[in-house]
Structure 1
Amino acid sequence: MNTIHPQPVIQVRKDKSISRGEFLSLLRTYNCFCEDKKNLQLTYYDNNGKMVLEGLLDISWGVHQPIRLQMNDEKSTPSSRAIQSPDPVTNKRGMTRWGELDNLCNIAEQEEEAEQEVEEQETTQQLVFESSTLKPKRNREPESSNLIRTRSDASLVKMRVKDQAVSAAQKARRHRFSINGHFYNYKTSIFTPTKGFVTTVRINSTLTTQEVIALLLQKFKIENDPNDFALYVVHASEEKKKLKRTAFPLWERLLHGPSRKIVKIFLMDKDAEEISIDVAQYIKFELPVLEAILQKLNEEEEKHIRNTHLRYKVEKTSLIRQLQRRMIVRAETSV
């Protein structure tokens, strides 16, 4: 009987591997740090002898290009007739939730109609009704042979249906999917997320960078091409490094440690500039200090250029002298 043995060495990158003991030590440290937030802890399992991590990966938004939200999702869409004429029995909500319409422009129109109905209802309800007869209060008058007209049951049912439609519309607005509070609106469906806003996506360590990006965009119903974005590892020192398409973000999170104050993973535009550690060490300095450093670097550059020119000039002069001597010796020998 064949038995599957766990990997003694775990490949976390193409150019990096760690032992099983190092992996378990990193995982214990990570989960101890996230002890107060159990949902952020990582788990692992053996998949045919291969170690697989699983858990939530937190990603910060850092894109500059606008993103486009989808008009609808994959949920079933009812007919427009059922939407426009809700039945108080079969369709008690009076309005379907976001994602159940073919065109979200209809949602905006229905919201405007609902707001108008609310205004009309507030105007109608300015009259205070008696709890027993549902008739509007009035001043005591002498008895008359004419009867006061009361509200019919049909009008009360109609008002109840309107109330249900308005409450359903408000509930639908509350439950719509959003990115940092931005709900879909057909007038503002293109926007740029707030920089630094953190979201999470559940993945495992077998997913590559591009697969994680595609999963994140799918979660938020974004139409942009995943190839337009990239994941960057940003350190507290402002060092910024782009993850390769074939890298595994969950392994990178584990290797860089659990502290989000030290290292964060950002979703950025694919052409965002990387910042090396040599440049990052100067970023937090004040402007006068940076100007002095830049002046010093320019002076060193000019000095290095002068020394290089002088060295090549000396080498060139020496080579010319050697050629001249050989030409003189050859001329004397020929004579």
Structure 2
Amino acid sequence: MKIFISHSSKNANYGQAIVDLLVAVGVNNEQIIFTSNDAFGIPTGQNIFNWLRARITEKPHVIYLLSSEYYSSVACLNEMGAAWIVENEHTIIFTPEFKASSPEFQSGALDPREMGFKINNHDRVTGFIETLRDIFPISTKTVFVSQKIREFIEKVNSFEVPKQSLPVTQILKNEKPLDPIILTNTEEKIIVEDSPKKIIKINSKTSQVDKLLKDLQEGKLKDEEIILLHYSIDTARFKLGVGWKSAGEIENIKTWEDVNSLNSKLSLGYDEVMRRFDLKKLTEITEFTSSNNPREVELVSDLRDLLLELPKECSLKIEEVLARNERVIPKSTWNTFEKEDDLPF
């Protein structure tokens, strides 16, 4: 059996560190496929796609090195799909900054319930190497293997994490938010923080999410808008039906309202809420009908990220709205229940 490291070329440093560790603890060079290094990659003269397809159908042990860069790569997602179809043995490893709660991983081909681990988790890396012993010639010198794993952890921790723009929503989550100076132009906002001094660029979609967050905190959103946010969180539905598919979504919402003893405010006002979210640029079209009309939209990525890690004060605001929209059972109907235990509250 071979080991195939499926990775983004932007994460080649992490992939090479894995290769170095595997070789150090006893895996033969010929058993490793790592396309970012010519010594472990595609032989000269081979067609890249045919060669990779052949290697995957040989059912190697696949290491999925997952990151935001991985999910942004069509080639990586094709690799994942091909390996998943032939049911390879595999291991899921996350780069340090990648979160298992990310929408990409939660909705991807790999089962999100399966345990993955951070590449710099010493105990989990040790456990991973131990699982390879039955198939690969891992060294039996325990102290030597432990030393190589320790060197591996030190190496990956020394890598610089890719710099990413920090959304204002993250600033607002801080316990002591900074007062930024905002300069705007037509394309983006630039926030200059006083301490520490840094410049953060934010795209227009992020600023729309920040406005939504502010409106939520200040009580400026309609109840049905807030209930929709909770519906998405509670059901993990970030893709929602619109147009002719809105009827099916409304039926799902009615069932959800019944289960949660809520009134019909969201199901009755769903189409209007989605229209407002569209005007606020909080959704993106993901599916069209044959007539080129929208039939499904998705909450923008910044909003999804916010909902997955909602600030406590926002959660409290949502709870307030849910409380005042609980379904009320008129006393006149109580006598329809045979005994007190049958009352729906």
Query: Structure 2 length as normaliser, TM-score?
Result: 0.22
Looking at secondary structure, tell me which structure has more helix per residue: 2
Greater radius of gyration (CA)? 1
TM-score scaled by structure 1?
0.22
Greater relative contact order (Cα 8 A, min sep 6): structure 1 or 2? 1
